[in-house]
Structure 1
């Protein structure tokens, strides 16, 4: 851009209008500036956004205090300007955010600052000639740009028009080899134009310079000149009119048939700052009318996609912005042509994941779909990408990314169309006109159905779509089609066979998506959503079972299993017919989910779930029929149900555990201390106790983990080549070969399991010695050993076998320990539900001990580390809960004091400082709960008596700590309490300082206590920051000391204490009047000799 003579030095124009640099001589040093102001600059450089804003406000406030009454800028204001301007060249990221903000606000708030002085400081402190390296020069250039930006936005130029022209010429003449520096500078000129366009100085100072530059037209045009033209056209339509454009830019409009070639050249040139998108592109698209979108895209947009990476990124940006315009379906089809969609796939696959250009397109598509509810438009967007699928190019992963971005925003009709097409693809039918029979593509398609379960669950119509997809997955996972039927959904004939691998993929997808439905946040609307979906699924399952001529289950169902399903159906019908209140509806919701899950489990493991079904039906029947509340607090069905849920938590399936947690959440209000004991008994069970417990075993965890990994891998790796072995499964011969392969694998696995333990084999050989057969020829006959020879080897062989048994027993013991730890970790999910939902006092207090003991055990046993971390996280949530006041009557003050005593004793043996602090936090919570319970009791005790009770449980441990009796880390226990409870600590100290304490201490001990405590009390009384209630307790402590000591050791009290007490009496609340009067009377009555204490003497001793 041409603005001034290139031979003119960059700063010469400014020097002509700026005063001599006398201002620099009066700017103070940092040592002469208030420390409170200096600290704010540190906050501006490192703090978060909220703290930076607060720091700017504080800085302005302090500077206004210093400026008050001063004619020119005060020294603090000048120092701040210097500090901010110099700091703009710092490479630290947050400095470039906080400092410009502060500089702009100071210039805006202090009208006394002259614009010429600010430009002079910028020239002085950001002098490019003083840069010692290219990086330092670039940082200074960025600092100058940020400073100019702050100056422009502060409106200081409106007061001093002499600075406008030099600044404008600086901006127009700047050049840099660094694209990121150039980008920052190019933001200043448009900002200056927009700020000054309505000002009188614009016509005289700015427009003549701009007009001269814009009159050059397309000659050596740069993106910056075109950007200025577009800005001026927006704000000055009378100057940039058709005549001006025709004369200088060869066309009456900037965008037209005659200008596409020049515009393409400019846009290509704007990519020199890759990956930053130049602002000229955004302004150009704002100027583009909708009717010219097609021509613009053909002449410019598509051409960019044939260029290098920077050009393709710009093409992606233009596409993302054009999509936001109100286009019709034909225009949208043109923009999202097959070639462009393939380029989007390519970008998603190969571009740097930190800056994927195609993500801009996906975000715009999501906005477009949200803004329009046109079903045809939504379907058109889907077809553009799905028609571009090419399995040979491995584009399934990229199409998955596109679908995951747009499916949550589709209308119900468009989503149903897409889901039907995906089901066609799974079955080997045509998918938007193309047919794919590859097994890998069909497996990938099954996993795409999961995307529909991320859609908003607010619409009933979409719930129907999700329920239909669940039914589809269930049918293909657990049933085989015998004949086609139009009456039962998803039972039509399939052109391509549905093999075992696809059935397994459907099984995993069904579990995953059913889990999504069940684990929705269960507010009132979502519960109804879940209930309807579950009911519809169960009805579909019932129709499949009853039509055995159409479909057959993969695992045969005997009469007992069918009877169990029938009983579940009857129980669900009975629950649906009952009108319940809110508390009972939770029970019905829980049992409905449980029974449906068990009904589905019948098709996975029919033999092992029958007993659980009978137990669950019994619990459900007792819960539903219990219309009148019994005299017992706990429902009689709760224990059995908890046993069922605990058993479900041992299951390797994640779905089973999630449903158990969901059911427990629904019945958490019924949990009582007795039922909670079933959980805490397992949580507090020692790992050493299960070594000989043969009954303690549960499902293979590795199997469950592998199933979950299969789900993830099937999503990620569906696009991998599976070669010919996975592409064709049509012939019966192929099925037979697969069965033979499976049998071979089973045989090999059996042989592997029968392999001899080589270590044990060597021990047997060593025991037999020379009698061992060291040859491999099994056909050679060996002579038998005599009875005496055999008895000689008996002891050695017995030792070898005992060694093997010990190894197996040890391995089994370790397995049981690990299983117990795993079960505890899972049961903590139940505890987390209780902490979040059940705020009964008796439940909350019963959770302290098991959680702390789990953490304590984990610090002593490394294999329990994960368990301990989860336990302590829940413990920290526990002592932050708000106990329901209605449940205070459930526990007594004695119970709380006993619990606190136990925790104090527990903390003495805690293996780490962190655990001691956690116990201390729990004590803090329980002490507040104790005071709250006492305040709401029918016969509340005095606060002093409560404090005395607390003191009694602390005294033994405090005495042991002071006597150094094994309390090495116990100081942090009391330190944590005192920091959090200064008021209560002062009250406890008041209770401790009495006549009994004075009698137990020697005269020397008492004197040491008084001479170290009284100066601290005086310091608190003279402080202006102490809170009234805390101050009141300190004065009570002072009064107790005065009363007990009777003037024997109070010679060091300064005379200033009397006026201090008189001031507190006048200014303090009414509650302090009596205490101040009492202190003044004690001092006067005892006739103490007042003298100023020796500071060195009183500060040398630390209070005990």
Structure 2
């Protein structure tokens, strides 16, 4: 019993102690715990507020105790060993401020607080020392905590204040140096801390003392010839006199000295094995830093220092400085990081460094950075997505484009680097990127002034004796020059020679495309330009002219081209590549005389006359360009143009047939596949649209009525007839064309066509089914003829089922029998090939006709926009409706519907036409309703008919209100005729019923 009572007493004492301990955890402790929790917050504002609250607890008005101050220090130091959230960031900031509060020059003493600076260093080592049996990660966490603690001490500035004992400061530096020396994976961070400290020193006597101690600590810990040591050395040397720096480390105490370049290269690579003691004896090598993929901060410090060193002359333009930087880059960067034996890690550093230089360095250093090994590695890595450093190389290309987007004038320097002897003119082709093309598109006028002459010279002299490679380079350069002309960021500007850079491009194309040099000099092509390259250059020249005229319709570049051809042909150094006969030369001379007359008249002309003169100048220029291109119809076009010009502008009274003749010329231009001729035709047509006659309009309508097959193509272009009859022709050429196969297959014409086009035309779907049936019939016919030739039983009367292959394969024939059927078999195969060729020809014919119709619709679109109030515009409505109904190509139907919508919308906004004869309008309305009654009508067609009918009805009601009753009667008659198609035609009448009540109410 006594034992039980004694045990109960012990339990009571233990319970009392537990209660006592619980009471010790006060509300104040809870607040502190909350503060420490917030110090680890991932939100920066939360960490800052927590640090402020913690520091305020050490203010004198809060009566802090020595125990609480020491407890806060311990808690913060231990918190730095935690990898939780952002604990090291928050605790590091708080520790630096607490140290400044406790030991700084403005600190106020706390009663009984006796922890000295020396004790603080011991406390940090104690709190960050891992246990002997700690796991690897725990040890790393504690070492990181110690590193952040040293950083907090330096940031608090307590170690460098004048009152701090120098021996304690040296001891502190030795602690950091020791951590860097024996913990390679922390060396960069230790070095960064020391570098930041060196940067923060004031250039006074006290700062000089601290800097001397810092450099001595580096030497003592054998860190002076490491990447981090070089960074600290350069920082101190930049701020303090050389007397602060230790002796016998670098020649003239300068790591950037030319005599130390090889040593510096080894140090920057991380190779420290050959370092020696300064007294001449050997020393134990410093352990290399841990492997890392990111670029050491010291590289950027060194590169920046080198650039500053060689930028002392104005703009870094001294040839000596540029040459020295070039040598430095080759030795320290190119041979070091990009050599064939360099590891992936080193090359990764190199690409990161290259990217940073591209983004931040002055432009004068760029030529040196496009070095041999770097460019080779860049091309190799970017060329294959599976390469280990593909992303790193890609980052360098992005850096180029990013820098040029900010400073477009640097485009010339970067492209020159990629095209240098170490790179390739075909850089984009080799790397399968659009780097050069994109950079060219970002260049400004200043860059073009520098770049265009060099590219033109390269196109003339591509730097190779291999003809195939020369052709490839010339075509690549031609594409780049076209990109330059197209660039909206590079307005035309004059070069020092007085010639604009765009004119220089055009002239270079003319020289290489149309001339052969007679006297070889430094400007002559190093290799003759091949015929294939000439053809490419001619196409690129047209593309340049198209884009120039798109931006500036009255630009004289086309005239410059033909004048350049004439002027160069008169020089002894060139001869025209294609010679012409006397008759053609006479036509050319007359054309030049006409151009001279036009140029003189344009000097004092203005308004419509000037526009007309410019239009003829364009036509003459491009017609002559086609003549020099060897086009067979160019001579006839020039002759017709001469007649048209004389009757239109030179005669006192123009005749109606003048525009009809001009229209025929424009139609011959739009029929060509090059888009530049389409642009020229549209520009000229817009100038003379008001002069369009009824006959001219009918010639446009006639094209829209042609069938979209081989027969239609023959009718349009006066080709020789075919022996096939119409039905056979339909079968051979009725091939559906998708929008993607058309030159401009998906244009938004406006005018309400976008909603209607989704309904589509059913004709193309029907044709597609017919084509499928035709193909099956043709295959069956071919197999039948083949079987008859082989004398098998596959197609015997009444039995066309497949039979066993062993009986039909002709394997029982001997050689004589096989030779006997060979002629018949060859005939069957020839017929099959002929049929396939016929279908291919039919498909091409349909594409040609469809594209021609699209171009005519473009001209009609211009006409209805400009001449919406012209009564002649009404005569466009019915042909458009018929085209929508009859064309088997949905895209043509959509485009026609769009043109109709443009007429209606333009008239609605700008003014209705005023037809002189109401009878013609009534006839038009009835014809529109006849279209509605057609059995071939599709939903798109009916929607177009509805818009057209309401538009015509609006014209009639505008003339006379009483016309409404007659219009209703016409709608009623149409409704009777459409009873069998009531569901299809319902929208036609619904739209009328919706429109007329509001219209009549307004009346």
Q: Normalised by the shorter chain, which TM-score bucket? A: 0.5 to 0.7
Q: What residue in structure 2 maps to residue 509 of structure 1?
A: 537
- CA positional deviation for 1:395: 6.5
Q: What residue in structure 2 maps to residue 747 of structure 1?
A: none
1:855 is aligned to 2:881: no
User: Residues of 2 paired with 1:290 and 1:230: CA distance?
Assistant: 29
Q: What residue in structure 1 maps to residue 983 of structure 2?
A: 968
| Unpaired segments ≥5 residues, structure 1 | 1-15, 17-161, 174-187, 272-280, 486-490, 710-756, 767-772, 778-800, 935-939, 991-1028, 1034-1104
- Do the aligned residues in 1 keep the contact of 2:355 with 2:399 (CA within 8 Å)? yes
User: Residues of 2 paired with 1:618 and 1:527: CA distance?
Assistant: 24
- CA positional deviation for 1:557: 1.0
Q: 1:198 to 1:337 in 2, by over 3 A?
A: farther
- CA positional deviation for 1:892: 6.8
- CA positional deviation for 1:680: 1.3
Give the paired residue count: 688
Q: Deviations over 1:520-550 (max 9, x none)?
A: 4646xx134x32x223222211113334x54
- CA positional deviation for 1:574: 0.9
Q: What residue in structure 1 maps to residue 527 of structure 2?
A: 497
- Select the residue among 449, 453, 458 that pairs with 2:481: 449
User: Residues of 2 paired with 1:320 and 1:226: CA distance?
Assistant: 30
Q: What residue in structure 1 maps to residue 419 of structure 2?
A: 386
- Select the residue among 625, 647, 666 that pairs with 2:650: 625
1:244 is aligned to 2:142: no
- Do the aligned residues in 1 keep the contact of 2:382 with 2:431 (CA within 8 Å)? yes
Q: What residue in structure 2 maps to residue 253 of structure 1?
A: 196
Give the SS at the match of 2:575. strand
- CA positional deviation for 1:818: 5.9
Q: 1:241 to 1:847 in 2, by over 3 A?
A: farther
User: Residues of 2 paired with 1:776 and 1:569: CA distance?
Assistant: 66
Give the SS at the match of 1:970. helix
- CA positional deviation for 1:357: 6.3
- Select the residue among 661, 678, 685 that pairs with 2:699: 678
Q: What residue in structure 2 maps to residue 915 of structure 1?
A: 941
1:406 is aligned to 2:431: no
- Do the aligned residues in 2 keep the contact of 1:301 with 1:318 (CA within 8 Å)? no
Q: What residue in structure 2 maps to residue 518 of structure 1?
A: 546
User: Residues of 2 paired with 1:316 and 1:580: CA distance?
Assistant: 60
Q: 1:453 to 1:885 in 2, by over 3 A?
A: closer
Q: What residue in structure 2 maps to residue 602 of structure 1?
A: 627
Q: 1:470 to 1:811 in 2, by over 3 A?
A: closer
Q: What residue in structure 2 maps to residue 184 of structure 1?
A: none
- Select the residue among 470, 475, 479 that pairs with 2:511: 475
Q: What residue in structure 2 maps to residue 586 of structure 1?
A: 611
- Do the aligned residues in 2 keep the contact of 1:341 with 1:388 (CA within 8 Å)? no
- Select the residue among 892, 902, 907 that pairs with 2:927: 902
Matches within 5 A, 1:207-286: 243-244=155-156, 250-251=193-194, 253=196, 258=228
- CA positional deviation for 1:323: 3.6
- CA positional deviation for 1:693: 6.3
Q: 1:888 to 1:423 in 2, by over 3 A?
A: closer
1:571 is aligned to 2:594: yes
1:545 is aligned to 2:569: yes
- Select the residue among 379, 384, 405 that pairs with 1:350: 384
Q: What residue in structure 2 maps to residue 465 of structure 1?
A: 501
User: Residues of 1 paired with 2:301 and 2:76: CA distance?
Assistant: 18
- Do the aligned residues in 2 keep the contact of 1:362 with 1:405 (CA within 8 Å)? no
User: Residues of 2 paired with 1:301 and 1:576: CA distance?
Assistant: 61
Q: Deviations over 1:171-209 (max 9, x none)?
A: 958xxxxxxxxxxxxxx6247568x6999899789xx99
- CA positional deviation for 1:616: 0.6
Q: 1:394 to 1:804 in 2, by over 3 A?
A: closer
- Do the aligned residues in 2 keep the contact of 1:821 with 1:867 (CA within 8 Å)? yes
Q: What residue in structure 2 maps to residue 421 of structure 1?
A: 454
User: Residues of 2 paired with 1:282 and 1:922: CA distance?
Assistant: 74
User: Residues of 2 paired with 1:519 and 1:425: CA distance?
Assistant: 23
Q: 1:597 to 1:960 in 2, by over 3 A?
A: closer
Matches within 5 A, 1:738-777: none
| TM-score normalised to structure 1 length | 0.50
Stretch deviating more after TM superposition (611-620 or 808-817): 808-817
Q: 1:401 to 1:885 in 2, by over 3 A?
A: closer
- CA positional deviation for 1:588: 1.7
- CA positional deviation for 1:511: 1.8
- Do the aligned residues in 2 keep the contact of 1:557 with 1:606 (CA within 8 Å)? no
User: Residues of 1 paired with 2:839 and 2:402: CA distance?
Assistant: 61
Q: Deviations over 1:1035-1079 (max 9, x none)?
A: xxxxxxxxxxxxxxxxxxxxxxxxxxxxxxxxxxxxxxxxxxxxx
User: Residues of 2 paired with 1:360 and 1:693: CA distance?
Assistant: 56
Q: 1:350 to 1:967 in 2, by over 3 A?
A: same
Give the SS at the match of 2:500. helix
User: Residues of 1 paired with 2:100 and 2:992: CA distance?
Assistant: 73
Q: 1:392 to 1:591 in 2, by over 3 A?
A: closer
Q: 1:312 to 1:872 in 2, by over 3 A?
A: farther
- CA positional deviation for 1:640: 0.6
Give the SS at the match of 2:667. helix
Q: 1:345 to 1:405 in 2, by over 3 A?
A: farther
- Select the residue among 43, 46, 49 that pairs with 1:189: 43
- Do the aligned residues in 2 keep the contact of 1:692 with 1:813 (CA within 8 Å)? no
Give the SS at the match of 1:243. helix
User: Residues of 1 paired with 2:908 and 2:434: CA distance?
Assistant: 46
- CA positional deviation for 1:646: 1.2
| Unpaired segments ≥5 residues, structure 2 | 1-24, 59-68, 102-151, 160-171, 177-189, 200-226, 233-267, 271-287, 310-327, 722-732, 742-781, 792-815, 821-829
- Select the residue among 639, 642, 660 that pairs with 2:663: 642
Give the SS at the match of 1:480. strand
| TM-score normalised to structure 2 length | 0.54
Give the SS at the match of 1:497. coil
Give the SS at the match of 1:637. helix
Q: 1:765 to 1:833 in 2, by over 3 A?
A: farther
- Do the aligned residues in 1 keep the contact of 2:516 with 2:575 (CA within 8 Å)? yes
Give the SS at the match of 2:628. coil
Matches within 5 A, 1:28-43: none
- Do the aligned residues in 2 keep the contact of 1:682 with 1:824 (CA within 8 Å)? yes
Stretch deviating more after TM superposition (248-257 or 915-924): 248-257
Give the SS at the match of 1:557. coil
User: Residues of 1 paired with 2:425 and 2:503: CA distance?
Assistant: 33
Q: 1:596 to 1:394 in 2, by over 3 A?
A: closer
Larger gyration radius, structure 1 or structure 2: 2
- Do the aligned residues in 1 keep the contact of 2:669 with 2:678 (CA within 8 Å)? yes
- CA positional deviation for 1:331: 4.5
User: Residues of 2 paired with 1:593 and 1:413: CA distance?
Assistant: 30
Q: 1:853 to 1:307 in 2, by over 3 A?
A: farther
Q: What residue in structure 1 maps to residue 223 of structure 2?
A: none
Q: What residue in structure 2 maps to residue 826 of structure 1?
A: 855
Q: What residue in structure 2 maps to residue 113 of structure 1?
A: none
- Do the aligned residues in 1 keep the contact of 2:370 with 2:417 (CA within 8 Å)? yes
User: Residues of 2 paired with 1:664 and 1:172: CA distance?
Assistant: 74
User: Residues of 1 paired with 2:94 and 2:694: CA distance?
Assistant: 76
Q: What residue in structure 1 maps to residue 166 of structure 2?
A: none
Q: What residue in structure 2 maps to residue 79 of structure 1?
A: none
- Do the aligned residues in 2 keep the contact of 1:572 with 1:592 (CA within 8 Å)? yes
Q: Deviations over 1:711-735 (max 9, x none)?
A: xxxxxxxxxxxxxxxxxxxxxxxxx
- CA positional deviation for 1:595: 0.8
Q: 1:509 to 1:358 in 2, by over 3 A?
A: farther
